[in-house]
Amino acid sequence: MLLDGLRYTIIALLLLVIQFFFIQNINFSTWIQPMPYLYLLLILPFSMNRFLVLGIAFFMGFLLDSVGDTYGMHAASMVTLAFAKVNIDKRILDIDSIQLQGYNYLTPQYKGFRYYAVYTLLLIWLHHIVFSILNYFKFSAVLQIIGVSGLSTIFTFLFILLYATVAGRR
Amino acid sequence: MLYLFRLLRNNLFAVTFILLLGISVSQVVRYNIYQESFYFNSSRAILNNIAASQFAVKEYFDLREVNKALLEENNRLRSSGLRDLVFSDTGVIVNRDSNGKKRYTYVTCRVVKNSTRMRNNFITIDKGWSSGIKRGMAVISPSGIAGLVYEVNENFSLVLSVLNSKFVTTPMIPAIQFREGSITWNGRDPSLAQLNWVNKFEKLSPGMDVLTSNFSVKYPPGIPIGKIKSVRKKPTSSFYDVDIVLATNFNKIGFLYVVKDNFTHQLDTLSKNEEVIYAP
């Protein structure tokens, strides 16, 4: 239990460092803003207390907000993601069968890549659309909000796949 | 009442979520509506130092010294220019050589942190109120305008970049003696700004220089803003759509100047009096 906590802390720090020092320093385009740090929430075990999940999400967002000049954008989108994830896990996924197969969180091995991709893309897009809405904060920027969140979702997903393959190899 | 408490207890998770969301969104609203930032003054003292050391890696070892020397020299040259002097006309002839009073002084500073990807971008610089920097001062780069000072710490300041939805300034186009309209950024391309409210009867053409106006209260006159890239006419509007290529490359800024206006106080007093007299 303690070891797990340590492991997740290290992963969280690693993701935050990657996000802050590398991803935010690369200028892809104004349309593409990948945020792979949210991967931490996707790999938290189903058995974790949901209030703790919410707290971790808020704290991670708050850390990024206080370092960058983004006010509460990261925190708000992370909290939304956590809330949605907990509810989707509880109401839609079949947690018992996943846990019986020996997985703590949803992986591509459970029901194939397509199932995993839909679940992950949906959650990432939710995070990104909240972030873009708060970033642009204007009704007239609807097209930009949709475009930026859509493109960024694809790139975040690619980064997450890359991270998962590199980190999962041991 | 008891029912309400029970409702709250049963939906404690949702309530916690809404509470946390409210806290974070209120910060965004606070910036967008009240124009205050909460994070800069409260939590940035240590983080700024981390960011400063991170940026230091980017600068090449020897180039840093050379840059610094060049910058100081530029600073001296700038301060000696006639543009910064105000000439007092006491007699019939104005002597434009020695009769001037110095209006602008410049503080050189280093960029600690910079962004160009967001809708509202900021630059953090390594000088604060201990170097005499105040909120609202103009910031320029060696090649053009860069922004306005937004928040000040003891040793750091947050600069509202030109690439921010809150940034507005007034331009001058010397080729056609034009001094109207406003410069803003639409959030798309960090190398292009937009010139708004230019009447279709003006003879604008691509390639014209756009400078800061002498009507600007904050910027010294004649600082480059950029060059006109394209001029489009919309049939539904009586104004042009103008794109300007910014003179400053915001992805590559390293050193900046903060402009101190020595006559701000006098200008402020004048505009205050204006309000008193013409108030209905």
Whether the Cβ atoms of residue B224 and residue B209 lie closer than 8 Å to each other: yes
B49 vs B130, residue with greater confidence: B130
Predicted TM-score (pTM) of this structure: 0.74
Q: Are B211 and B224 in contact (CB under 8 A)?
A: yes
Q: Does B44 touch chain A (CB under 8 A)?
A: yes
DSSP A90: H
pLDDT at B243: 93
- Closest to A61 (Cβ–Cβ): which among B24, B51, B121? B24
Three-state DSSP class for B132? coil
- Coil, strand or helix at B11: coil
Q: pLDDT band for position B22 (50/70/90)? A: very high
Task: For residue range B191-229, list pLDDT tens digits in order.
Answer: 999 999 888 888 889 999 999 988 888 888 888 899 999
- Highest-confidence range of A155-159, B104-108, B276-280, by mean pLDDT? A155-159
The closest of B170, B151, B171, B148 to B161, measured between CA atoms, is: B148
Least confident piece of the model among A22-26, B5-9, B137-141? A22-26
**CA–CA dist B40, B33 (Å, integer):** 17
Contact B39 A69 (CB under 8 A): yes
Structure tokens at B219: 């910027």
Q: What is the pLDDT of residue A130?
A: 93
pLDDT for the residue A18: 87
> How many beta-carbon pairs under 8 angstroms link A with B?
99
Q: What are the tokens at B79?
A: 């301060």
Q: Is the pLDDT of residue A170 over 80?
A: no
Cβ–Cβ below 8 Å for B116 and A62: no
Can you give the pLDDT at residue A84? 95
Query: Among B121, B105, B200, B204, which Cα is nearest to B159's?
Result: B121
Please give the residue that has the higher pLDDT: either A89 or B103.
A89
Residue A5 parent element (H or E): helix A2-17
Angle at A108 between CA A102 and CA A110, to 5 degrees: 40
Residues 6+ apart with CB under 8 A from A165: none
In sequence order, what are the beta bridge partners of B178? B173
Q: Which residues contact A83 (CB under 8 A, 6 or more apart)?
A: A54, B13, B14, B17, B21
Q: What residues of chain B lie within 8 A of the CB of A136, using their CB?
A: 119, 187
Confidence of residue B95 (pLDDT cuts 50, 70, 90): very low
Q: Do the Cβ atoms of B187 and A86 come within 8 Å?
A: no
Whether the CB-CB separation of B163 and B190 falls below 8 Å is answered with yes
Q: Across all residues in chain B, what is the average pLDDT?
A: 81
Nearest CA in chain A to B161: A69
pLDDT: which is higher, B244 or B10: B244
Average pLDDT estimate for A97-106: 87
Which helix (H) or strand (E) is B86 found in, with range? strand B85-87
Contact B115 A24 (CB under 8 A): yes
Strand partners, B240: B233
Residue A43 pLDDT > 70: yes
Tell me: pLDDT of A169 over 80: no
Confidence of residue B163 (pLDDT cuts 50, 70, 90): very high
- Token couple for A92: 């839609």
Percentage with pLDDT > 70 across chain A: 98
Residue in A closest to B122 by C-alpha: A69
Provide ipTM, 2 decimals: 0.87
According to DSSP, the residues that pair with B243 across neighbouring strands are B194, B230
Contact predicate B152/B274, CB 8 Å: no
In whole angstroms, give the CA distance from residue B229 to residue B205: 9
List of E strands, A2-83: none
More confident: B41 or B4? B4
Nearest CA in chain A to B54: A21
- pLDDT tens for residues B40-68? 655 566 666 666 666 665 555 556 666 77
For residue B49, give the chain A residue with the closest CA. Answer: A67
Contact B215/A at CB under 8 A: no
* pLDDT surpassing 60 at residue B94: no
Is A149 an 8 Å CB contact of chain B? no
**Three-state secondary-structure class, residue B63:** helix
Of A71, A72, A144, the CB nearest to B187: A144
Contact B27 A50 (CB under 8 A): no
Tell me the per-residue pLDDT of B188-197, one tens digit each, with 9 for 90 and over: 888 999 999 8
CB-based contact, B27 to chain A, within 8 Å: yes
pLDDT, residue B100, reads 66
**Distance (Å) from the alpha carbon of A69 to chain B's nearest alpha carbon:** 7
CB B156 within 8 A of CB B44: yes
pLDDT at position A5 over 90? no
Tell me if A58 and B24 make a contact (CB, 8 A cut-off).
yes
Note the pLDDT of residue A158. Answer: 94
In angstroms, the Cα distances linking B254 to A86, A143, A150, B107 are 44, 33, 33, 14
pLDDT cut 90: percent of chain B above it = 22
pLDDT of residue B269: 83
